[in-house]
Structure 1
Amino acid sequence: MKEIIQKFQKRFAWLAFFLLFSLASCTSVKNIVYFKDLPPDTTAVLYKKAAAFTEPVIQADDILSISIQTIDPTTAAVANQALAVQAVGASSAVGNVGNQVVSGFSVDKDGYVHMALLGKVQLKGLTTYEARELITQLAARYYKDPTVQVRFANYKITVLGEVTRPATYTMPNEKVTVLDALGLAGDLTIYGKRENVLLIREVKGEKELVRLNLNSSELFESPYFYLKQNDVLYVEPGKAKAAANNAARTQTIALIGSFVSVLIIALSRL
């Protein structure tokens, strides 16, 4: 009887050791340093092939913030009247998710915005700079030396997955990098896979999927370093996340192990 109990004790000891080793290996932290391929003593790195920024162009269904300013603010009030458009699921830069009402001029399916006094203005395919120049020329027919500002009112980027604050973010400007978006989302959690961030982009009605490696400094040379409107970043969870989600199961195993240990001790004293 004692020999049987001793063999059982040895087998249980090996099983307990194996379980502890497996849990330790699953929760180890790997690949959490950004751009770890850079030498630690590097003070400056010049990227001759650094990613080029391309200004986004206005598309149908965009919402534009357009303002015309003159010496007398009251004279341009009519042209500045814009409809309030509800952008479902949008959020501010501080991460408040929900329906957001955006005041601006909506671009219709044919690429026009409808402005009081100026009428229909074709803006599809233009950058905000080109749109500003065009509206300035049209406004000059009615106002003396008008100053025009044009920007996207719903320039949004979505960040999902293993980040601190996953949400859809309305960006304050058009020049947005992958790091900017992740910074707004509170950075990756310790469980996020930095070497395999998925970028989802719509190009001419089709989805383009790109993998980005935050561990490599080659990201600065990638044509996808600068994001475009409606881009989605998804950070996949690593193995450690699965281990964390299995915490309840681990506690159950520990309780069973404790019960078996008590049972072995009780049997050994018989």
Structure 2
Amino acid sequence: MTRLSLSYPLVLLLCTIMLASSCGTNKNIPYFKDIPDSLYGSPKSIPSFAFKDPLIQANDILQISILTLDPQVNNILTAANSTSYAVQPGSANLPATASAVTGFLVDKNGMVELPVIGKIQVAGLTTAVARDTIHNKVAAFYKDPVVNVRFANFNITVLGEVARPATYVVPSEKVSILDAIGMAGDLTIFGKRENVLLIRDSMGAKQVVRFDLNSSSTLLSPYFYLRQGDVVYVEPNKSKVASTDAVRTRNLTLAASGISLLIVILTRL
């Protein structure tokens, strides 16, 4: 009777600790857990931040295609558009042998230089406005030109607790924080979903903001849609930190062994 009264509280305490540690790590895993489960048959509209077209900046690389009625002119413009520029290593959706993108480099003054047409100011413009600006310039030289402008080096970097951390060159200008995480293969089980960090270059300074992916309020953030060169960092949670801490792991193992030994000794009294 004495053995049972001594050992039972210790066994109960050990089981409680183990149960708490196994359940406590699950509460922050789901995305948008504030959206109720009752929406299966009746969808609900959730407001989100409106997308704004990104602005062209110095050092961006633009793919500018100009088609005219003169095939010879088209060949000249196409050749100029094939200038190669190095991109950051590890661009995950480029072939393994690819190390450059082609296009026109926006110089430090915010201008691109086109054959025959000359230099055109494009910094601070969206690609749609830049297209119209270039079209007006080209129309002074050639009849009925067709102009298209897009980013050639729109890249996003995803680091930390994701399946495939890398720099991703994306073909679309409309990329959200969820798109970036999806390209990186989603967060690992150790990713801190309530504390995802975004780092952005802005006029020579660094802007930093954090997202809580457990909450649908993320959809309302003005930073929900990413910009060229953004860096997303997923912080590891306490479980990952503990699993990589050799000293703490050793201490926990010794403590568990000591408790087990104590239980064995008390049950044999």
How far apart, CA to CA, are the structure 2 residues paired with 1:95 and 1:158?
Answer: 17
The residue type equivalent to 1:55 in the other structure is D
Pick closer, same or farther for the CA change 1:227–1:159 going to 2, 3 Å.
same
Retained in 2: the 8 A contact 1:159–1:168? yes
3-state SS in 2 of match to 1:67: strand
SS at match of 1:41: helix
Aligned mates of 1:92, 1:116 — CA distance in 2: 33
Counterparts of 1:106 and 1:90, CA distance in 2: 21
Normalized against structure 2, the TM-score is what? Answer: 0.80
SS in 2 for 1:114: strand
Question: Corresponding residue for 2:186?
Answer: 187
The C-alpha deviation readout for 1:21-79, integer Å capped at 9, x for no partner, is 469716843311111101111232223x5201111111111111111123554431212
Which residues of 2 match residues 94-243 of structure 1 at below 5 A? Answer: 100-243=99-242
Q: Distance in 2 between matches of 1:175 and 1:23?
A: 44
Q: Is the Cα–Cα contact under 8 Å of residues 65 and 149 in structure 2 kept in the other structure?
A: yes
- Aligned partner of 1:175: which letter? K
Letter in 2 for 1:106: L
**Which residue of the other structure, out of 60, 64, 70, is the alignment partner of 2:62?**
64
CA contact (8 A) 1:35 1:214 kept: yes
Tell me what 1:87 maps to. 87
Q: Which residue of 2 aligns with 1:77?
A: 75
Q: Matched residues, percent identical?
A: 48
Distance 1:178 1:216, change over 3 A: same
In structure 2, relative to structure 1, the CA distance for the partners of 1:172 and 1:210 (3 Å cut) is same
Deviates more, 1:185-194 or 1:77-86: 77-86
Give the Cα separation in 1 of the matches to 2:121 and 2:171. 24
Correspondence for 2:32: 35
Structure 2: gaps of 5 or more residues: none
Q: Which amino acid aligns with 1:50?
A: S
Secondary structure of the structure 1 residue equivalent to 2:162: coil
RMSD: 3.2
Q: TM-score, normalised by structure 1?
A: 0.80
Aligned length: 251
The C-alpha deviation readout for 1:223-254, integer Å capped at 9, x for no partner, is 11111111111111112212432589758947
Q: Which consecutive aligned stretches of 4+ in structure 1 deviate over 4 angstroms post-superposition?
A: 17-20, 71-74, 246-252
Provide the rounded CA distance (Å) in 2 between the counterparts of 1:161 and 1:226: 20
